Amino acid sequence: MSSSSSSTLMEEAHRTIFEAGLQVRYAVAGKAYVDKSLANGASNFARPMQELVTEACWGLLWTRPGLERKQRSLLNVAMLCALNRGAELGVHVRGAVNNGASEVEIRETLLQAAIYCGMPAGIEGFKVAERVINEMKDEKEVEAKVEIFQLGLLQIENSTTKIIA
């Protein structure tokens, strides 16, 4: 096999893994967050890190069998709490909710981390998780209000159509 065909195969493999990772990343972290991360990491210097994160974390690890996405999310919540990585913890709390974890499961995960990793890390983890969960509740309230408004407009539109007809 020539070096150019081997290079092409590697590029195709990277592209395939990146695309698989991107789909998982969108599903877990949310399209808006991922698009913002990719845009912020679009420079020649930062792009390789975004590619590595998308391929290795999301394309290779998160697509493996053996653990459900919710389990992976809760593991990340515990580890990021222990490492005191608040920004990433927030992303993964959101991901845990997106993957079906309940507030109770997230809270219990953080309590477990606090006991084994230290109370300061646990307290900070609780602050981050509560903020994210409340933000998500607020977003759902806004979405619900928009849907109600849109349904109201549709009803008005349908009523107007019936009156005119």
For residue range 44-81, list pLDDT tens digits in order: 999 999 999 999 999 999 999 999 999 999 999 999 99
Residues, the chain, total? 165
Q: Which two tokens stand for residue 47?
A: 């792009």
Q: In angstroms, rounded to a whole number, what is the distance separating the alpha carbons of residues 90 and 4?
A: 42
Task: Tell me what pLDDT residue 96 has.
Answer: 97
What is the pTM (predicted TM-score) of this model?
Answer: 0.80
Query: Would you list the domain boundaries of the chain?
Result: 1-64
Task: Tell me what pLDDT residue 107 has.
Answer: 97
Q: Is the pLDDT of residue 42 over 80?
A: yes
Task: Tell me what pLDDT residue 164 has.
Answer: 47
Q: Which two tokens stand for residue 23?
A: 């789909």
For residue range 109-163, list pLDDT tens digits in order: 999 999 999 999 999 999 999 999 999 999 887 777 777 777 776 666 665 555 4
For residue range 81-110, list pLDDT tens digits in order: 999 999 999 999 999 999 999 999 999 999
Q: In angstroms, rounded to a whole number, what is the distance separating the alpha carbons of residues 107 and 81?
A: 12
